Amino acid sequence: MGTTITLAEEIMLLSLDDESGVVRQRQSVAPALAGALLLELVLAERVSISGKHLELRSTETTGEPLLDGRIRLIETWMRGLGRRRVTDWLMKDYMKATGPVLERLGERGLVAEQVRKVLGVFPLRRYPEADGAVERALRERLATAVLGNARPDDRTAGLIALLHGAKLHRLAFPDHSPAAVKPRMAEIADGQWAAEGVRAAIRDMQAAMMLITTATVVAVT
């Protein structure tokens, strides 16, 4: 197995309960997954984000099934249009991103899918941890950057920005209060760690994730 997994898979690993395989904070995690997949495409120069609009720059394969699947979906969605709003894409994609990300983790051998029937009819899927080495390394990276004040690499900084934007502080640092880690995570999210185009994309995605999360909470209350 390769050592590099996608940002979306990293967020999913943080959200899964290791033993039960339940996705915690699902309402906030789902928009973060969609945002993470989109950020990967920005970093891979397949899409660009400017003025809160999304533009497809290339349909060339990345070699990563999760990302290539999103490229095809975006291409279909944008057909005949030069650009569309980032918020519209994330609103469309966030309900569909969880399944493919979990499936990819299973393909890598990091989680094990378990299925049981509810009332003998409805399948209930859980994804307990099968190999914890990647998650442990991930949490060490986050701790070094946020708790140890070390300078993160670009991918770690992007991940922290997404976690901060989706208010997933407790998933990333379950042994610390959100108030204890928010200032450093905000500092990293706002830092000069990436090109302005990438940082602008993250700002737009953070705003979009906040809108989605707020709309989801309102819908279920």
- What is the share, in percent, of the chain residues with pLDDT greater than 90? 52
Distances (CA, A) of 87 to 31, 98, 159, 186: 10, 18, 19, 21
Residue 129 and residue 120: Cα distance in Å, rounded?
A: 25
pLDDT digits (tens, 9 = 90+) for 97-149: 999 999 999 999 999 988 777 676 777 788 889 899 999 999 999 999 999 99
Q: Which of 8-22, 57-71, 73-87, 111-125 has the lowest mean pLDDT?
A: 111-125
Query: Is this structure's pTM higher than 0.85?
Result: yes
Residue 50: per-residue pLDDT: 80
Q: Please report which residue ranges of the chain form alpha helices under DSSP H.
A: 7-15, 26-43, 65-77, 86-93, 98-107, 133-146, 154-165, 169-172, 178-189, 196-220
